[in-house]
Amino acid sequence: MPISALSKPKNLGAKEATISVKTLTPPVQAFLANLSQKQSSVSTLEGPYIHVSSVISGAAALYEKLRYSLDYREEHLLRRHAIERIVRRQLEDRGDWHEFARPFLIELVQAQYLRNDSIPEAIVPKVQTIFDRYAVLFNLMEQDKSNEKKTAKAWLLGLLSAELDDELAPSPEHQALVNLMVSYVIKDDPLMDWSLGSEEKERQVFIACYRALFAFDPQTLHFFLLLKQMPDWRSRRAEDMSSLWPSLSRQYFNTEQALRHPAGLKLYRALKSRVIVFHALKDIAMKYPGGARELLLNEPRLRSELEEICQKYYRGARRRLYRSAVRATVYIFLTKIILALIAEAPAEQFIYGAVLATPIVINTVFPPSLMFLLTATTRFPGRTNTREVVRVMIELLYGGERRVFSKVKNPVGSSVFLVSVFSLFYLLTFTITFGGIILILHRLHFTFIGTGFFLLFLTVVSFFAIRIRQPVRDLFVSSQRENILLVLINFFSLPILRVGQFVSLTSAKFNVFLYLFDYLLEAPFKSFLIVFEDVLGFFREQREDIV
């Protein structure tokens, strides 16, 4: 049914007669059935619940906000990363996680990663079982004579944190939604031009769907791929780990190779343009648990519901963009700009014997101004995109001749001559871009040092701006139109973004402020909070005895 027909209000009765004979595709029916059966393991447990003081919780949450202002992370990954940080600190300080489950849960509730009075005490033994299982794995790792202990430790900590995150804040609808997308990707077979075995292709599809739908990091992807290969992993006990260690090591290397496969990366980019449709379907199913099927079969109602959902997504994306821009600006200012500005003036005074005010003022004002400009000029989807969402949703629900996912081209290997030509062309672009900027700065009387700091700020801010704008771009179902000016801007900004990516990823490994927080402040501060929590609990009990 053409999208234009949805906007015509005439003959609604005739349309509903046509609608009544429509049926949902088997994958959608299975998705609705799975969603209705999913139930969180935490929600089935009864109280009493873990409770912490609101005063302690406020202090812990403030510390986390300060800490993550120095370590930029995507918001949906903050809890998993905090879990990894906590278990690593315990491992480095105490050497094991013996009877650590309850203090661990209290710390998460204090930091407001888990809601107060929502985690039942009954889950403590289950969490401790997870710790015990991984403690055996860490002992096996220490006995391993290979030289990859540092890599293995990071991998196991990532697995542990991802499993704990999924155990404590499960989202049962995630797996149902992934299964739905996987079924459509397999049906359309976008990777048909790639020479992949059936097992490898299935693995690439699974990874791409999880990446596209939920933007999970590699640690979380490792965990869900482990669950796929070992469905009974959660029920395994500590005694089983010795026999599983060799297969777990192979699983790690296979997953690492799969995460870097070019087919999966290209498929992931192709799937992102359909993610909004799948999330909209999930929202409808969860909003109308008993009447989702009837709504999905009624196209006028479906169209109205989708318009409302899309507007909600667009508004949410705008809020997240501005919030992320503020977080990114604070992060860049605290970790790079302050250090650079502190160093710029003394260095110029020492080398040149004078400090020019204009370059320092520009280097101070330019980064936040550039972030504001790039954020303010972000293009958001509108009615045209919403109509495309409706069109793809109809294909998804009722089936049809059109594919939901287009083919992913397998790039043919280029000749040495073409590679050389493209490399020279890119080098020319790099030279023109940075050469032009340096020439302009020279005319503004920038010194060599001031020019270096300006280029540092330009590249890093540009990279972060593109990064935080990406979720908005992912809302577009169809490709956006580009004019010649936009093409030229994208073309000549590529070298800036490449350098910004390199600088950001490299400098993140040498974050002095973050080191001070994690290794000097965090342990004593968190210990103080635990002691203070016990003191408040003691006085609370004494007051109750008096009353």
Domain boundaries, the chain: 47-170+522-547, 172-287, 293-382+414-510
**Which pLDDT score, from 0 to 100, does residue 11 have?**
42
**DSSP H or E run through 327:** helix 299-332
Q: Are 141 and 149 in contact (CB under 8 A)?
A: yes
pLDDT digits (tens, 9 = 90+) for 208-224: 999 999 999 999 999 99
**For residue 227, which of 296, 262, 175 has the smallest C-alpha distance?**
175
Read out DSSP for 347-376? HHHHHHSS--HHHHHHHHHHHHHHHHHHHH
Say yes or no to pLDDT of 56 above 60: yes
pLDDT digits (tens, 9 = 90+) for 409-457: 887 665 677 778 888 888 899 999 999 999 999 998 888 888 988 998 8
Q: From CA 99, how far away is CA 101, in angstroms rounded? A: 6
Say yes or no to pLDDT of 40 above 60: no
**Which pLDDT score, from 0 to 100, does residue 415 have?**
64
Q: From CA 379, how far away is CA 369, in angstroms rounded? A: 18
- What token pair was written down for 14? 């005739």
**Which pLDDT score, from 0 to 100, does residue 271 have?**
93
Calculate what percentage of the chain has a pLDDT beyond 70.
90
Distances in Å between the Cα of 282 and the Cα atoms of 12, 107, 276, 278 are 27, 32, 10, 6
Q: From CA 372, how far away is CA 365, in angstroms rounded? A: 11
Q: Which amino acid is at 379?
A: R
Greater confidence, 535 or 199? 199
Greater confidence, 26 or 335? 26
Q: From CA 390, how far away is CA 309, in angstroms rounded? A: 11
Say yes or no to pLDDT of 371 above 80: yes
Average pLDDT, integer, range 229-256:
90
Read out DSSP for 388-415? HHHHHHHHHHH--SS-SSPPPP-PPPPP
Greater confidence, 309 or 508? 309
Question: What is Dmax (Cα atoms) for the chain?
Answer: 88
Calculate what percentage of the chain has a pLDDT beyond 90.
42
**Which pLDDT score, from 0 to 100, does residue 387 have?**
93
**Which pLDDT score, from 0 to 100, does residue 547 have?**
58
- What token pair was written down for 23? 């049926």
pLDDT digits (tens, 9 = 90+) for 310-343: 999 999 999 999 998 888 888 887 776 777 767 7
18 pLDDT band (50/70/90 cuts)? very low
**For residue 86, which of 53, 22, 131 has the smallest C-alpha distance?**
131
**Coil vs helix vs strand at 260:** coil
Peptide bond into 48 cis (omega under 30): yes
- What token pair was written down for 99? 């009877």
Q: Are 36 and 289 in contact (CB under 8 A)?
A: yes
